[in-house]
Structure 1
Amino acid sequence: MFRNLKEAKTMSENIHHNQHEVEHADDIIDGISSLPDGVLHHMLSLLPTKDVVRTSAVSKRWKNLWASVPNLDFDDTLLYASEVDHIHSPESTSFMNFVERILRLRDTSKIEKFRLSCRVCFNSSRISSWISSAIMYNVRELDLCIFADDSSVIPQSLFDCKSLVILKIEMDCVLVFPPRVSFPCLKTLHLSLVTFPDDDSTGKFFTSCLVLEDLVLLDCDCINLRSLTVSSLTLKRLTIDDILVYEPNGCKIKIDAKNLKYLKYTGYLPNEISLSNAPSLAEASIHIPILNGRQKEVACRAVDLLKGLQNVVFLRVSNCTMECLIFAGSMLARFPVFPKLTHLVLTMEIGDYTFGAFMDLFNFCPTLQSINLSEGFDQCIELGEYDSVWSPVPICISRHLKTLTFKNFHANDSEICFLKCILKYALVLEKMDIWWCTARSRDLKKERDVMKELKMIKRCSTACLITFP
């Protein structure tokens, strides 16, 4: 019995409230279920595949809907985090059986995206059959991350898939290509960790990508190659990330892509990379870390790479790339001029060691309009207002520079000196944005004094606006 009427009333209200919530949830489900299949498929494609299958219990309308969902995502990462014997564990077997059940019960509709990540569960024949199934369903996007050192897990039918538009493969293995390769619709290709087998089959592989627009090579090994030409009339974006150390006898890679618009390179240049035909290249990002003991060799390869960027409008380079130029020596006589470059971003701190190379770079950028020092200066840098680097003043600074962005500003003497020189020599400067270092403890009085000092400096450009965002 209830202790009092108040308790009974409260219990009654709770029951009524819970019943109302259930009815409201049913109304929502009924409302969602009335949506067209295309909309429901889109909603389901945002869920993990195992959760998609669970929706079959929602209502009769949803019972078989999962069987035609366009996106399938199978990932055994959760098994990887456990401490069981992964290969023979019940969880591993359950995962493999789950994948096969989903593919076996699927209807005849096409697969839009098929993602398979196998870091634990590995059975060569079963994985190969899963990929083959996706190909049979005319998959448009295939994303494979397989911890295996044998490329035979990839079925031969993959390399003759007419429906593929996006292909991503991450495997630490020698990627063996069949005699016939045909990708008539492939626009995006991402390869990670793979080792290319030989010059001939690798060259044919890239040539077979007839409409390729976006190529990404992450930590791929060219140790078996002597030379490779990537020739494409459709390629627009190229990303190469090399963590491999310098190789004295590295592969010679030539990029022939007249419609290439964007290039990003990160690495130690273990291979010699050159752009032989890239008149449309407008944006590039180059990061070449210094490799002790190999500075001169890396510098020579860096200059060869930079020579292919002569048409860029936007260039992002690291401080380490600047260091490469220091070791280039006589190679600087062959250093390219960037006649179209208007925007330059430096992505690492500039120090005493690289400031000279930083200023030298301006002499190769005659029409530069915007400089962005995204990490500012090293706090130990020592500059003077009458330093020899300002004689003569680079033409781009005196005649074309319109915007200077200086980040990570500490308000030390060398930084203030540099900004004073820019204000003194930049005839058409319109804006100087100075961003305070967020890591330091703020001295508000010093900040006000520095702001006042810079704003009181006589400027070559009367239109220049100094801001502290």
Structure 2
Amino acid sequence: VATSVLSKRWNLLWCSVPSLDFDIVDEDFWSRNDENTYNTFYSSVCSFLASHGDKPFYKIRLRCYISMHITESMKTQIQTALSGSCSVQIVDLYCNWEDFVIPSLVFSFKTLVILKLKYITLEDVSFVDLPQLKILHLENIISLTEIDLSQLLSGCPNLEKLQVRDLACEAKGKIIRLPKLVRVSIDKPLLPLEIFKDVEVLKFYYVMPIFQSNLYVNFDFHNLVRLQMSVEVDWLPILKVLNHCPKLQSLLICIDKRYEEEGVWPYPQNFPARISSHLKTCRLIE
């Protein structure tokens, strides 16, 4: 560390910091194409991990791109840090590295509050026990075993914010309620919407016809104020869900015209009537 030149006391402080927090997901940083800068960054990460020893972390945050400077030793150090931090509260990893697999025990850290994983390979998520987890982000995930999304969520009973994108998964298990869930962003409605009935914000990135049956509901989203969906062909039946959103204030529908037949859009015969009283913003984007 540069400040250690000023005083040897900085070395002790450096080793005692309970957080691993390095972030270089920055286009300006990588556009410099400076080998010395890359090497310095990854050397700093390795040096910090080595000096920290086996002391547990309360926060592990590492966001960086793939690089020739990432060694197998560095991957092992991070895996060891994760395995030895059973009392960690925050895990935020954005590591597009080949053959980097995080240990499955991360999904059983009982103190974990925030878990964000992007461009990560998972070892196994067949057992999930995250009683304190409030925020879960999973994006561009590769799993060595099949992921059952309903089973995964059942291990997060206090979840408040959920974001899932580009996650190869199924939904085979028992449907559970997440009463504290308020914000959801998810690729597609794999699960029946009843699991999200209490949310305030709901976003689907990609609604294909095969999943539209999960959008037919017989209950109301009493708390939903913002709804966003990206759709393709035959999307008008989706509007029926709006009859069950009595407090909706913002509606955004993004239409993928690549799959839409040319011509005039058909006018819906039964346009939802219940959205008029509270709706402030309605947008259709193609």
Same fold (TM over 0.5): yes
Which residue number in structure 1 is paired with residue 139 of structure 2?
Answer: 192
Structure with the bigger percentage of helix: 1
- 1:220 counterpart = 2:166: yes
Which residue number in structure 1 is paired with residue 203 of structure 2?
Answer: 265
Aligned pairs (5 A) from 1:134-153: 134-137=82-85, 138-148=87-97, 153=101
Q: In structure 2, how many angstroms separate the alpha carbons of the residues matched to 1:277 and 1:125?
A: 53
Q: In structure 2, how many angstroms separate the alpha carbons of the residues matched to 1:161 and 1:97?
A: 28
Structure with the bigger percentage of strand: 2
Letter of the aligned partner of 1:255 in structure 2?
Answer: L
1:344 to 274, 277, 280: 280
- 1:54 counterpart = 2:16: no
Change (3 A) 1:113 1:276: farther
Tell me, yes or no, if the aligned pair for 1:227 and 1:253 is still in contact at 8 Å: no
- 1:69 counterpart = 2:23: no
Aligned pairs (5 A) from 1:343-422: 343-347=279-283
Percent of aligned pairs sharing the same letter:
20
Letter of the aligned partner of 1:209 in structure 2?
Answer: C
Structure 1 residue runs of 5 or longer lacking an equivalent are 1-52, 243-249, 350-469
Change (3 A) 1:316 1:200: same
Which residue number in structure 2 is paired with residue 395 of structure 1?
Answer: none
Q: In structure 2, how many angstroms separate the alpha carbons of the residues matched to 1:146 and 1:278?
A: 40
- 1:105 counterpart = 2:56: no
Shift of 1:90: 7.2
SS in structure 2 opposite 1:220?
strand
Change (3 A) 1:67 1:209: same
Which residue number in structure 2 is paired with residue 285 of structure 1?
Answer: 227
Shift of 1:183: 1.1
* TM-score (ref. length: structure 1): 0.47
Tell me, yes or no, if the aligned pair for 1:196 and 1:225 is still in contact at 8 Å: no
Shift of 1:208: 1.0
Q: In structure 2, how many angstroms separate the alpha carbons of the residues matched to 1:107 and 1:214?
A: 33
Aligned pairs (5 A) from 1:118-129: 118-121=64-67, 122-123=70-71, 126-129=74-77
Q: In structure 2, how many angstroms separate the alpha carbons of the residues matched to 1:159 and 1:153?
A: 13
Tell me, yes or no, if the aligned pair for 2:96 and 2:119 is still in contact at 8 Å: yes
Tell me, yes or no, if the aligned pair for 1:226 and 1:251 is still in contact at 8 Å: no
Tell me, yes or no, if the aligned pair for 2:62 and 2:94 is still in contact at 8 Å: yes
Aligned pairs (5 A) from 1:86-97: 95-97=41-43
Shift of 1:77: 4.9
* TM-score (ref. length: structure 2): 0.72
Which residue number in structure 1 is paired with residue 250 of structure 2?
Answer: 316
- 1:170 counterpart = 2:118: yes
Shift of 1:188: 0.6
Letter of the aligned partner of 2:281 in structure 1?
Answer: V
- 1:161 counterpart = 2:161: no
Tell me, yes or no, if the aligned pair for 1:315 and 1:343 is still in contact at 8 Å: yes
Letter of the aligned partner of 2:156 in structure 1?
Answer: C
Cα-Cα RMSD = 4.0
Which residue number in structure 2 is paired with residue 255 of structure 1?
Answer: 193
Tell me, yes or no, if the aligned pair for 1:259 and 1:280 is still in contact at 8 Å: yes
Query: How big is each residue's C-alpha offset from its partner over 1:46-81, in whole Å with a ceiling of 9 and x where there is no partner?
Result: xxxxxxx33334445544222223432224557743
Flag the structure with more relative contact order, 1 or 2, with Cα contacts below 8 A and sequence separation at least 6: 2
Q: In structure 2, how many angstroms separate the alpha carbons of the residues matched to 1:54 and 1:220?
A: 39
Change (3 A) 1:320 1:115: closer
Shift of 1:146: 1.6
